Amino acid sequence: MPYPLPPDNPPLQLDEALASRLHGAQQALSRLDLAGDMEPSIDWFIYAFVRKEAVLSSQIEGTQATLVDLFSFEAEPDVAPVNADVKDICNYLDALAFARRQLTDPAGLPLTLRLLCDTHHPLMHGVRGADKQPGEIRCSQNWIGDTRPGNAAFVPPPPHLLAQALSDFERYIHSVDTLPALVRVGLLHVQLETLHPFLDGNGRVGRLLITLLLEHWGLLSRPLLYLSLFLKRHRQEYYSRLNAVRRKGDWEGWLAFFLEGVETIASEASTTARNLFTLVSQDRGIALARADVTVLSPRLLELLPQHPVITPLTVIKLLDTTRPTAGKTIALLESAGILVEATGRKRDRTFHYARYLEKLKEGTELV
């Protein structure tokens, strides 16, 4: 059974070191939000960073698909993906979009267990775990590691005690607490992971909860933080910090780790946003300076950050043009070194906005 929230036995100690870590994380989040405000095309970064978080959070759970796999599928959604695990990532995107719509709609659901259940349903639809009661709180015991609860690495609360624990969890989300909001985000993530309310998909829901709370409580105005990159880099410490809370109430150790992750990734994301915008601006200059530039070339370039993998058919649809004109536009950007052909084929070719993808995909490669 989890320790209750807020921690009170012993009470959470925000000592000088932890307070300093909290301040650094809060400042980094503010800078990330400001970086978004300063960019004229914030939709680029929301599109890219949400997908990066979806890929990374899914990879932590064993999904063997990359960011490029996702973009390739989005370029040809009517073609079955080469990597079937892409479906897990698409589900994560659908689940997050659903939850954000609910929270921003005056008639939508508030941040409650019902919302988390309704978000869990599209997350698990048609993928591994689809047979494990998507959208429903479990009525049987689950565990992590080995073959049974008796030899498992972690056993969450039994079903008959889960309802009250989840009620306490939901009550804490909406309670008045003197602890800083970012600290509460960290506490709630651990608590949901410990309760493990679903038969599958708990890790992804727990990390999705971080994204929702950061925006819901005004710590970020848009979902620009891909914290799962830090958790993937330090996966073993992530698990050990969660277990230290469960076994001995080491909230301080977890929070130091969590806040370090927020500060690290928020700072990196700010830099990435600036670098991506600079790259697109430079490539726009390269394209416009060419003697053979056409009207459609810069138009396609403006669309590439949200379509960094394209096919001729993609371009026909995006620009509402003919196949010959689409081919000519692609060829111009290819000769400028902006697009790179990725298949090596003469037909059914795919093109990557290679330098953009190289900067964006850092950390999403399979290891």
Which tens digit of pLDDT belongs to each residue from 128-181? 878 889 999 999 999 998 788 888 889 999 999 999 999 999 999 999 989 999
Token output for 363: 């950390």
> Please, what's the b/e burial string for 267-287 (b: 16 or more CB within 10 A of its CB; e: otherwise)?
bbbbebbeebbebbeebeeeb
Residue 8's DSSP bridge partners are 11
Q: How many CA atoms lie within 13 A of 334 on its CB side?
A: 17
Residue 31 predicted with pLDDT over 70 = yes
Q: CATH assignment of 273-360, given 1.10.10.10, 3.40.50.10440, 3.40.50.300, 1.10.357.10?
A: 1.10.10.10
Burial of 329: CB neighbours in 10 Å, binned 0-12, 13-18, 19+: buried
User: Rounded to 5 degrees, what are φ and ψ at 351?
Assistant: -120, 140
Considering the chain, what is the average pLDDT of its residues? 93
Beta strands 309-310 and 351-352, pairing class: antiparallel
Q: Give Cα separations from 344 to 23, 59, 121, 335, 355 (angstroms).
A: 50, 28, 40, 16, 18
pLDDT of residue 79: 81
CATH 1.10.3290.10 fits 16-270, yes or no: yes
For residues 99 and 45, the model is more confident at 99
Confidence band (pLDDT; 50, 70, 90) for 39?
Answer: low
| Cα separation, 357 vs 2, whole angstroms | 41
Residue 351's DSSP bridge partners are 310, 341
Q: Give Cα separations from 246 to 113, 172, 199, 251, 300 (angstroms).
A: 21, 18, 19, 9, 51
What does the domain layout of the chain look like in residue ranges? 16-270, 273-360
| Cα separation, 117 vs 138, whole angstroms | 11
Question: In this structure, are residues 217 and 110 in contact, taking their beta carbons and an 8 Å threshold?
Answer: no
| Cα separation, 361 vs 363, whole angstroms | 6
Question: In this structure, are residues 262 and 182 in contact, taking their beta carbons and an 8 Å threshold?
Answer: yes
| Cα separation, 304 vs 295, whole angstroms | 15
Question: In this structure, are residues 65 and 58 in contact, taking their beta carbons and an 8 Å threshold?
Answer: yes
Q: Which one-letter DSSP state was computed for residue 351?
A: E
Average pLDDT over residues 314-330: 95
Residue 232 predicted with pLDDT over 90 = yes
Name 150's Cβ contacts closer than 8 Å, sequence gap at least 6. Answer: none
- Report the percent of the chain where pLDDT is more than 90: 83
Question: In this structure, are residues 102 and 109 in contact, taking their beta carbons and an 8 Å threshold?
Answer: yes
Residue 334 predicted with pLDDT over 80 = yes
| Cα separation, 86 vs 228, whole angstroms | 17
The one-letter amino acid code at 220 reads L
Helix (H) or strand (E) holding 29: helix 16-38
